[in-house]
Structure 1
Amino acid sequence: MFNIGIITFREGLEMLVVIMALVAYAGNINRKDLLKFIYGGAISGLGVSILTGAVLLMQANRLTGYSKNLFNGSIMIFLAFFILYYMVWLRRQSKYEDLNIESKYNVKATGYGFFIFIFLTVFRECFEIIMFTLPTMTENIWTVIFGSIIGLTLAVVVVMLIYKAAIKISLKIVFDLLTLFLIYIGSEMFGEGILELFPSANSSLQIAGMLVFGLPTLFIFLRWKIKDYTNKK
């Protein structure tokens, strides 16, 4: 449940930051008529992602024997490498340094433009949550539900505090800390994925897989942070 909470918190925080930024932007330009498109896009994206997740879950539950091991193992290994890819992409984007809507997201202040952008943003983040939690869903869906509720609730609280200026916090620091947790989760997924593919092996294979993925990924992340720190000086 802890891992699921971290994943949903991280993805939910990113999603809510974008939504709240667009809501604030619509208010700043006196275009409250855009709010219905923003909220409509968010609800639509959530609904479509839930339907997609339900279809994937039904298909996954039909698998039995080694087919299920192969499915879960492949998904876990894919998601582990997705975390690595996302780290590289996020560094290139540097997307949390500010919340300038026009320059950062290149969104035109039109209803349909906001609707499509929010729909795609919410669907992408929710779909990532679904893919990360799908292997657990096939085993215990209630763990996923409760973990997701906790993570998303915390994300809502943090975003509201940030935008109401109740706390002074750097989003970049928050996402750096969450990235460290994701590296650990990615290591677990890689190790468990290898073990799923080779169910006859013992737990030492899982530990070896975690180290093979986790140590190089952590080294890359820390090297980036050290480079950023020295460049600022």
Structure 2
Amino acid sequence: YDDLKGGIDDFIKGVPLDSTSSSLTLKDGIKLLEKALAQFQAGDDKTAAATMKKFITIWPTIEGDVSTTNPSLYTRVESETPVIMVKGKEKAYQDKLQALITDLSAIDTSASYNAFDAMLILLREGVEALLIVMALVTTLKAAKMRKGLKWVYGGAIAGVLASAVIAVILQVVFPAVTSGSNREIIEGGVGIFAVAMMILIGIWLHSKSSVKQCNDFMERQMKTVTATGSFVSMFALSFLAVFREGAETILFYVGIIPRITTANFLIGIASAIAVLVMIAVAMTKASHYIKPHRIFFILTWLIYALAFKMLGVSVHALQLTSMMSNHLISGFPTIDWAGIYPSWEVLIPQLIFIAIIAFVTVKQHGKK
């Protein structure tokens, strides 16, 4: 509200807009953090919070140097800065801000990237999407519904193509800051929609996780209507899983290309693909030694676990772009790998998610 009121007042007064730089660097972000720290220490909490908000706004533009060289620091910045913005008047959070400034300042932004850096980007962004796609592929093979595989593979390919298109649009059409924020908004919005699809498919998988229900399903699975419906939903989830991570991966690569040799870049990509292929092969081989109803059971909970994390990460991404409010829970931990963040906006949807899964699980067990 304050931002909107200030914007309207400036417009009425004829105050010219500040031009947005398209060449923001990590050093620009560090200067904002240093400025915010000085303001917090001087007791000017409102101005300091506005400075922190400005940092959070440009963060998606400058995060590439941090995410590729120090993933753990990248996680700390994303999880701690929204909290510091609200609680920066407290000495403990000023110390955290100083620690972030020190660690970010230690990153050498002039250094070149190597093949390992290029490999890590694709692995970090691609493993989660691969797990979802392979869970769908394994499900179809276990259910002897191989004609549905083209739907899953088609969804993944469509996700890659859509990611490339969106990445180009964000890079060309929007200025740097807007491009980064839009990417976070897309990741958050698509992620929440994907969670809804994952709940539906998880419920469908869970209903096949007993021997009797699995055998009954095998007898019915040739019915066209049921099969086609399942395939469409699997196409959608495969597409969303890949699309959610794809644009961000491509934009990260755009950012590092000027500072990496072509050979290292290609070696990194090839290495990441090789690792992803090994994961896919391992999942496929392992499924051959597990009975179909057990496969459905395992994949059900894999889908649920990934959906729980994706829900938290997606809401957090929307909070980073101010698309969603951020009411902090004092003393609540941040567990980034599980998608748990200390705010009611993250926790309440995750609790509702758990309640839905618990209700469905109890109801389906009652039918066995």
Q: Give me the TM-score of the superposition, normalised by structure 2.
A: 0.42
Identity across matched positions, percent: 9
2:206 pairs with 1:89: no
2:253 to 132, 140, 149: 140
User: C-alpha distance in 2, partners of 1:105/1:78?
Assistant: 35
Q: Give, in angstroms, the shift of residue 79 of structure 1.
A: 2.6
Q: Give, in angstroms, the shift of residue 185 of structure 1.
A: 2.6
Check 1:72–1:105 CA distance in 2 against 1; reply closer, same or farther (3 A cut): farther
Secondary structure of the corresponding residue to residue 130 of structure 1? helix
User: C-alpha distance in 1, partners of 2:314/2:218?
Assistant: 31
1:213 to 345, 351, 355: 345
Q: Is the 8 A contact 1:4 1:148 kept in 2?
A: no
Q: Is the 8 A contact 1:45 1:123 kept in 2?
A: yes
User: C-alpha distance in 1, partners of 2:352/2:270?
Assistant: 33
2:303 pairs with 1:186: no
Q: Is the 8 A contact 1:42 1:122 kept in 2?
A: yes
Structure 2 residue runs without a partner (length 5+):
1-120, 209-213, 255-264, 329-333, 335-340
Q: Is the 8 A contact 1:13 1:155 kept in 2?
A: yes
User: C-alpha distance in 2, partners of 1:14/1:50?
Assistant: 18
Residue number in structure 1 paired with 2:141: 20
Higher CA-based Rg: 2
Q: Give, in angstroms, the shift of residue 71 of structure 1.
A: 1.8
User: C-alpha distance in 2, partners of 1:180/1:157?
Assistant: 24
User: C-alpha distance in 1, partners of 2:307/2:127?
Assistant: 10
2:304 to 176, 183, 187: 176
Give the length in aligned residue pairs.
207
Q: In structure 1, what residue type is equivalent to 2:356? A: W
Q: Give, in angstroms, the shift of residue 54 of structure 1.
A: 2.4
Q: Is the 8 A contact 1:4 1:147 kept in 2?
A: no
Q: Give, in angstroms, the shift of residue 219 of structure 1.
A: 0.8
2:283 pairs with 1:158: yes
Tell me how large the CA RMSD over aligned residues is.
4.5
Superimposed CA distance per residue, residues 90-134 of structure 1 (whole angstroms, 9 cap, x where no aligned partner)? 46x5334326367468437xxxx98xx869845751443123342
Superimposed CA distance per residue, residues 78-97 of structure 1 (whole angstroms, 9 cap, x where no aligned partner)? 13432453355346x53343
Q: Give, in angstroms, the shift of residue 52 of structure 1.
A: 3.1
User: C-alpha distance in 1, partners of 2:275/2:342?
Assistant: 26
Q: After the TM superposition, which of the residue ranges 56-65 and 150-159 deviates more from structure 2?
A: 150-159
1:10 to 106, 109, 131: 131
Structure 1 residue runs without a partner (length 5+):
27-36, 199-203
Q: Is the 8 A contact 2:187 2:317 kept in 1?
A: yes
Q: Give me the TM-score of the superposition, normalised by structure 1.
A: 0.61
User: C-alpha distance in 2, partners of 1:216/1:87?
Assistant: 18
Residue number in structure 1 paired with 2:61: none
Higher relative contact order (CA 8 A, sep 6+): 1
Secondary structure of the corresponding residue to residue 205 of structure 2? coil
User: C-alpha distance in 2, partners of 1:73/1:216?
Assistant: 21
Check 1:229–1:180 CA distance in 2 against 1; reply closer, same or farther (3 A cut): same
Q: In structure 2, what residue type is equivalent to 1:64? A: P
